[in-house]
Structure 1
Amino acid sequence: MPAHLPGVAETTTPRPQIKDAVVQLFRHQTLLEPIRVPCVAEPLLVLVLAGTARVEERSLGGEWQASRVTAGDFFLTNTREPYEMRWQTEGCEVFEVMHLYLGLGLIEQAAREAFGEQAGAVTFVDVSGARDEQVSFILNQLRIELTEQRQPSALLVHSLAQALAIHLLRHYLDPDSNPRRDNALPAYKLRRVIEAMNVNLAENFSLSHLAGIAELSDYHFSRTFKRATGLSPSQYFIRLRMGRARRLLVETARSVIDIGLEVGYSSPSHFSQVFRREVGVTPSAYRDAPRSV
């Protein structure tokens, strides 16, 4: 971003232990010639520290949108598209602003805390020249810690940045983003369910029994299981049955009828029908097919 803005940024000294926030300070005069601002990967907050200005912004090729801002006002940019901006200070005032970039890892952590471990990606609305006392307070505390302290506290910076991320999620979340997506079944529950399936391949499929193991309703279990595996619980159960049947056909001399019984099919014709549908050939043809050594 500094390469696209006029003036030289006063950037905090890089500190490996501080990864959650980057602060830059700028002093601007009037800028009538528009500049193109690139899209940003991390959410960018800009706090007006001193001065008053008329700031105009527009999407590329769009109409200019103007706002009058003064000390304490802030901007929030999370756009995926570049845009143009220009400004005009009032009188001879210098326009002083602070830029803060929040780390994506911090945003993701806050989203998981707010919406669950499988929270989807979040984006924020773009804000121009708004006033929020909590945003202003946290940004100023970060500025003081990162620019005025000889030895900034990584713990304090992390705590302030975390508080800011949570505040943004609560008040400036883009309504088009969908962090509360249906969660996939957690790995430890998935393992329990699959183990239970393998133990009970000869038994009738029971959705309620498996949902009970996962400690979920039948409906929620079905949705989260499919999100985790790509298959419904019943489809996955059939795949497990066919997998064991294939191994028994190749590794043992047991009859097709016995193998069908072991994987839950009392009718040889039903077993053959399901096997052919899933594998592509009948059980007998599968057993007789040549295999590489």
Structure 2
Amino acid sequence: MPEKSTPEALSQRIHARLLARSQGPAWNTISVHLLSHQPLETNLLVPAVAEPLVVWIVSGSARIEERDIGGEWMSVEVSAGDFYLTQSETPYELRWETSGGEALCVMHLYLGLPIYQRAVAEVLGAEGAERFRLADVSGARDEAISGLMGMILKELTEAAEPSEMAVQGIAQALAVHLVRHYGRRDGAAPARRGALPAFKLQRVVRMMEAGLDRAFNLENLAAEAELSPFHFSRVFKQSTGSSPSDYFIQLKMAEARRLLRETDASIIQIALDLGYSSPSHFAQVFRRQVGVSPRDYRG
């Protein structure tokens, strides 16, 4: 049952369908999403989260470009079996264009901090763990990672009842492999991570998406993340590069663009559906965010 994906807390909605996601006790140390992307993404802001992230190309091929915010774009050609690894302290930008006609399907796996930290301690010991962090990897190929991610994919999509023993065993093997082969010890202690855990970020964004027709409510979002409003606002911005209220507006405008592009709903109706009682206010916000009026955007 294809459904529109929940962004991994992105600054605007990913053009993708969420094909499957991990749910239930079998997945208590990792968070997994399977996504089918549209052929073109022109600019996507990827949040910093507390956990290491592995992105594995399941099918398709594409030219993917990434950069630090405001930096120079770096590109790599990827195809099924390639992977990305990031433990980014800050948000970064991403864009891509597919090639070859096959849909670009990817799996995102967030490795929970407890299992990751146990792997670091086991492989390196307490002293070695102090100055260790994972390297950033873009579009590489590793048959061991492909084998482990493939087993995770089967548990996610084929098992009627995913096995907790199997999932946890695969996750442990993946954590140890990443620490052994993709670590760096550069002599400097890793920066303190203030980002939200991925599962909390996802919960908050789902709440935002479910309430696009309602007024922004910081207290409710902070309660969903189990944080005070002040602390929530700070770590949310560290993760996404935007304040919660700005991010909420970005989600509204992403949905407005989708409705203008994919439906025949009137601009007045779209404004009302997104909680704007005044079409002129909606048009003002849209122009500020997108650069053109809703009418011009629809063409």
What is the TM-score of this pair, normalised by structure 1? 0.57
Note if 1:110 corresponds to 2:119: yes
Q: Tell me the alpha carbon deviations over residues 136-195 of structure 1, each in whole angstroms, 9 at most, x when there is no partner.
A: 10011011112210111111111111111111111100232679xxxxxxxxxxxxxxxx
Deviation of residue 49 (structure 1)?
0.9
1:44/1:25 CA distance change after superposition, 3 Å:
same
Q: Match for 2:136: what amino acid?
A: D
Match of 2:89 among 80, 92, 95: 80
Note if 1:146 corresponds to 2:156: yes
Match of 1:132 among 142, 149, 168: 142
Q: Secondary structure at the match of 1:116?
A: helix
Deviation of residue 32 (structure 1)?
4.1
Note if 1:63 corresponds to 2:72: yes
Larger-Rg structure: 1
Note if 1:155 corresponds to 2:170: no
28-37 or 67-76, larger mean C-alpha shift: 28-37
Q: What does residue range 170-185 of structure 1 map to in structure 2 within 5 Å?
A: 170-176=180-186
Deviation of residue 2 (structure 1)?
3.1
The separation in 1 between residues aligned to 2:68 and 2:74, in whole angstroms, is 9
1:121/1:161 CA distance change after superposition, 3 Å:
farther
Tell me if structure 1 keeps the 8 A contact 2:131–2:185. no
Q: Secondary structure at the match of 2:56?
A: strand
1:121/1:135 CA distance change after superposition, 3 Å:
same
2:293 maps to which residue?
none
Q: What does residue range 168-247 of structure 1 map to in structure 2 within 5 Å?
A: 168-176=178-186
- Larger RCO (alpha carbons 8 Å, 6+ apart): 2
What is the TM-score of this pair, normalised by structure 2? 0.56
The separation in 2 between residues aligned to 1:121 and 1:147, in whole angstroms, is 37
Note if 1:167 corresponds to 2:173: no
97-106 or 10-19, larger mean C-alpha shift: 10-19
The separation in 1 between residues aligned to 2:147 and 2:44, in whole angstroms, is 29
Deviation of residue 127 (structure 1)?
0.6
Match of 1:96 among 105, 120, 129: 105
1:36 maps to which residue?
45
Q: Secondary structure at the match of 1:144?
A: helix
Question: Structure 1: which 5+ runs fail to align?
Answer: 180-293
Tell me if structure 2 keeps the 8 A contact 1:53–1:95. yes
The two structures, once aligned, show a CA RMSD in angstroms of: 1.9
Identity within the alignment, %: 44
2:8 maps to which residue?
2
Q: Secondary structure at the match of 1:23?
A: strand
Q: Secondary structure at the match of 1:39?
A: coil
1:7/1:106 CA distance change after superposition, 3 Å:
same
Q: Match for 1:158: what amino acid?
A: Q
Deviation of residue 23 (structure 1)?
1.4
The size of the alignment, in residue pairs, is 179
Question: Structure 2: which 5+ runs fail to align?
Answer: 1-6, 190-299
2:233 maps to which residue?
none
Q: Match for 2:29: what amino acid?
A: D
The separation in 1 between residues aligned to 2:70 and 2:51, in whole angstroms, is 24
Q: Secondary structure at the match of 2:96?
A: strand
Tell me if structure 1 keeps the 8 A contact 2:66–2:94. yes
Q: Match for 2:80: what amino acid?
A: A
Q: Secondary structure at the match of 1:108?
A: helix
Q: Match for 1:134: what amino acid?
A: A
The separation in 1 between residues aligned to 2:28 and 2:58, in whole angstroms, is 23
The separation in 2 between residues aligned to 1:110 and 1:143, in whole angstroms, is 22
Tell me if structure 2 keeps the 8 A contact 1:25–1:96. yes
Tell me if structure 2 keeps the 8 A contact 1:44–1:100. yes
